[in-house]
């Protein structure tokens, strides 16, 4: 189902043009689009050379805004394909005066078109849509189709941190990471009762945890070839 465009959406996006970039390449197939890179210059984008991390599917920005507040010396790119949703995240960051986040309104498939190879230190996947029907499994953000794109973006030693309430998606992700050369660490099957410190709760996490659902979490990384 197509989401109805919210009233004043264009005006709201325009007001956030300092931190919200609406990237319109989806007229092309994403693989074809990624063959013609239009890389962002991070120094120009953020006005400094701090390391860059990425959240994919940022929703209304609760997680990324808190993370950016806690780590002012890291730059964050937050990606969300739904403009109706990302505009609220960009407004929140603007209201909170956070200059170390840029929001990209674009499907994640297109990221290698815009982000330099091996330039990202960490990727956050929080409560990604589970796409339970098997025929849509290639839309899951931990499908091989996406993992291959993340590999292009990940710097040496980079990690992917995933949280979800969905056990099927978690199982699928563990298998997908393992089948695609990733190693896993710090796996939790009940994050909120695990003693993990410093967790930043997302909008969806709030909703599911308050209903008593366990939250699953893992960290994935590419082992050094010399270690294997
Ligand atoms: C279930 S919501 C979770 C939002 C937020 N991370 C949270 O935890 O509250 C998942 C979000 O991922 C976005 N999304 C799904 N597939 C995407 C893709 N391929 N590229 C960018 N965003 C995507 C959806 O639009 C949706 O807003």
Query: How far, in Å, CA of 147 to CA of 185, rounded?
Result: 17
* CATH number corresponding to 23-50+111-227: 3.40.50.150
**Which atom of ligand 1 lies at the shortest distance from residue 128's CA?**
10
Residue owning the nearest CA to atom 23 of ligand 1 = 57
Ligand 1 pocket member 203 (CB < 6 A):
yes
Domain ranges across the chain: 23-50+111-227
Query: How far, in Å, CA of 44 to CA of 22, rounded?
Result: 17
Ligand 1 pocket member 94 (CB < 6 A):
no
The half-sphere exposure of 74 on its side-chain side, counting CA atoms within 13 A, is: 20
**Rounded to the nearest whole angstrom, what is the distance from the C-alpha of residue 165 to the centroid of ligand 1?**
14
Work out the pLDDT band at 226, boundaries 50, 70, 90.
low
Query: How far, in Å, CA of 44 to CA of 3, rounded?
Result: 33
Rounded percentage of the chain residues whose pLDDT exceeds 90: 92
104-160 per-position pLDDT tens digit: 999 999 999 999 999 999 999 999 999 999 999 999 999 999 999 999 999 999 999
pTM reported for the whole predicted model? 0.96
Query: How far, in Å, CA of 197 to CA of 78, rounded?
Result: 23
**Which atom of ligand 1 lies at the shortest distance from residue 109's CA?**
19
């Amino acid at each position: 189902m197509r989401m109805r465009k919210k009233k004043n959406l264009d005006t709201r996006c325009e007001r956030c043009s300092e931190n919200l970039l609406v990237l319109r390449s989806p007229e092309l197939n994403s693989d074809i689009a990624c063959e013609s890179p239009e890389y962002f210059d991070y120094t120009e984008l953020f006005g400094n050379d701090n390391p860059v991390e990425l959240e994919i599917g940022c929703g209304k920005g609760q997680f990324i805004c808190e993370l950016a507040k806690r780590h002012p010396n890291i730059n964050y790119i937050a990606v969300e394909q739904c403009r109706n949703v990302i505009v609220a995240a960009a407004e929140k960051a603007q209201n909170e005066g956070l200059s170390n986040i840029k929001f990209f309104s674009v499907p994640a498939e297109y990221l290698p078109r815009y982000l330099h190879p091996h330039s990202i230190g960490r990727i956050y996947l929080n409560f990604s849509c589970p796409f339970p029907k098997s025929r849509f499994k290639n839309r899951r953000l931990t499908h091989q189709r996406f993992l291959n794109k993340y590999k292009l973006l990940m710097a040496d030693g980079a990690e992917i941190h995933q949280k979800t309430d969905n056990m099927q998606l978690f199982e699928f992700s563990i298998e997908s990471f393992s089948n695609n050369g990733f190693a896993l660490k710090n796996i939790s099957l009940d994050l909120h009762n695990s003693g993990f410190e410093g967790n930043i709760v997302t909008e969806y996490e709030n909703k599911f945890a308050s209903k008593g659902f366990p939250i699953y979490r893992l960290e994935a990384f590419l082992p050094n070839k010399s270690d294997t």
